Amino acid sequence: WKQDYYASTESDDNTKRLHVNTEDKEIVKQVPMEISNPERTHSWKENLVRKTYGKQADDMTFELLVNTTHLSFWQLSDNKTLVMYLDSMAPGRLSGYYPALLKGFKAASERGLSRLILDFSNNGGGNICLGRTLLAFLQKDNWPGQGQNWGPEDIPLSPLANQLVQSAVAHNVSTSIWSPAFYDNQQNVNIANNDTSYLLPGVPHVRGGLLRNYSKLVHINGCGDPGYVLEPAVVFSPEETLIVTNGFCGSTCALVSNHLSLYDDVKTVVTGGIPGKTAMQYSAFPGGQVLDKEPMFAQLLLLRQNISYVPYEEIDENDTVPRRIATQADFRYCIREIYPLPRPHLPYGTNPMEFTFQEATFHLYNNDVTSVYPQYNWYEALQYFNQ
C-alpha cells in the first residue's frame, strides 16, 4: 500500500540493460539494420560514433563500477562524473539495491569524482518510501531541501473517505491510509490517531471544474527516514548534479525528480523529442498514490468494512463501501495527490503536480548515435554542469 502508480514490471529489466550496456552483443537489438554477428555490430557502432563525434569518440568510454538488476553506476572518461542509472523505484527486496547504492558512492569517493548524473530514463516508479529514502540520502550538507524529503499531499474526500477515517479512529487502527496517525502535518509532526482535524471535514477546492473537499496537506509518517541514517561516502552538491531522463519518469520517479528540481534547484535534462515542436517535461504522471483492487480491499478489511459479494439486484445504492465483484478485471482508486512546493508563485490551492507542466531546464535532441545508444547522452549533458 505504499506503492505508487505504475511500478515497473520484470520486463523493464531489458529496457535498462539495453539503455546502459555497451557490450555489442546486447546493443545488437537496437541497431536499425539486419546484423547477425557481434563483430559487424561493433564495426557499425564504431563507425557511427566516430562519424558523429570525430576524434572525441576515442575518449567517450563507460566504465561500469557497480551493477544490479535495476541500479548501476558508471564512470565517464572525464574522471569527474559518476552516472547513477536507476530504472525502477521498486527494485525488489533481494535486488541488492541499498548495498549497491552505498557501494556506488563509495567508488565515487575513492576515485575523486565530483559530479553526478542521475539517469531516471524509463523509470515507471514503484515504492514511495524508497523514493523518499533516496531524497534523504542525496539531500545532505548544504542542500536547500536538507531535512525535508516530502512534499505537500492531499486526500480527496468523499462519503467513503469520511466513513473510513471515522472507522480508523473508532477501532484505533493507525496503519491504514485513512488513519490520521498514518500521516504527519506540514510541520513534519505526527498526527494523533484521534485527531481528525487534518482530514475532516477538509478544505474546499475547485479542481477539474468541480468543488470538492480535500485534507489539509499531509504526508506519510516516517516514510523515507532510512535515508537520513545512510551516509553517502561523497556528497555531491546540487550545482554538480544533473537529472537526465527521456521524459518517461513516472510516479515515484517523478516525485523524486520534481522534488530535487523544485526544492534543491537541481538542473534537469530531457532527451528526445522533435526540434521546433512542443517543449518536453523531464517527468511524467507525478500522481501521488493509487490503490489497485486487491490492496484497496485489504485496506477496507483492516478498517472492518463489509466487502462481501452482493448480487447486482441486491446492491444497496446507499452503501458507500465498494463490494467485491465477480470479475477478474482490475481497477484503481485515487488516494492522494501531490502539489508543487508552496512558494509565492505556487500557493497552496494550485493545481496538483498531475496538472502542472514542469519543463526541463535543458533539452537534448537525439542525434544518430544517441537515438540508438542513449548512454552517449551522458556525454552530451556534461556541457550543462557549467550553465
pLDDT digits (tens, 9 = 90+) for 65-118: 999 999 999 999 999 999 999 999 988 877 899 999 999 999 999 999 999 999
Domains and CATH numbers, the chain: 46-149+228-286+354-382 (3.90.226.10), 153-222+290-310+318-334 (no CATH)
- Which of 132, 102, 62 is closest to 375 using CA atoms? 62
The values of phi and psi at residue 365, to 5°, are -85, 145
27 has pLDDT over 80? no
**Beta strand pairing call for 115-119 and 203-207:** unpaired
CB 106 within 8 A of CB 19: no
**Beta strand pairing call for 62-67 and 203-207:** unpaired
Question: C-alpha grid cell for residue 3?
Answer: 506503492
**pLDDT number for residue 225:** 92
259 has pLDDT over 80? yes
334 strand-pairing partners: 290
Question: C-alpha grid cell for residue 276?
Answer: 521546433
- Residue 30 pLDDT class (50, 70, 90 cuts): very low
Q: Is the peptide bond before 344 cis (omega within 30 degrees of 0)?
A: no
CB 348 within 8 A of CB 334: no
Region 301-305 average pLDDT: 96
**Cα–Cα distance for residue pair 307/217, rounded to 1 Å:** 29
Rounded to two decimals, what is the model's pTM? 0.86
CB 246 within 8 A of CB 379: no
Beta strand extents in 174-218 (DSSP E only): 183-184, 203-207, 210-214
Question: C-alpha grid cell for residue 59?
Answer: 575518449
Q: Which residue has the higher pLDDT, 339 or 321?
A: 321
Output b/e per residue, 34-54; b: 16+ Cβ within 10 A.
ebeeeeebbebbeebbeeebe
33 has pLDDT over 80? no
**Cα–Cα distance for residue pair 29/277, rounded to 1 Å:** 29
**pLDDT number for residue 358:** 87
Residues 6 or more apart from 259 whose CB is under 8 A from it?
A: 135, 145, 149, 151
* Axis-axis angle for helices 252-264, 128-138 (nearest 10): 30
Alpha helices in the chain (DSSP H): 12-20, 24-27, 38-53, 97-111, 128-138, 159-170, 226-229, 252-264, 293-302, 377-381
CA–chain centroid gap for 145, Å, is: 17
Residue 155, burial from CB neighbour count under 10 angstroms (0-12, 13-18, 19+): buried
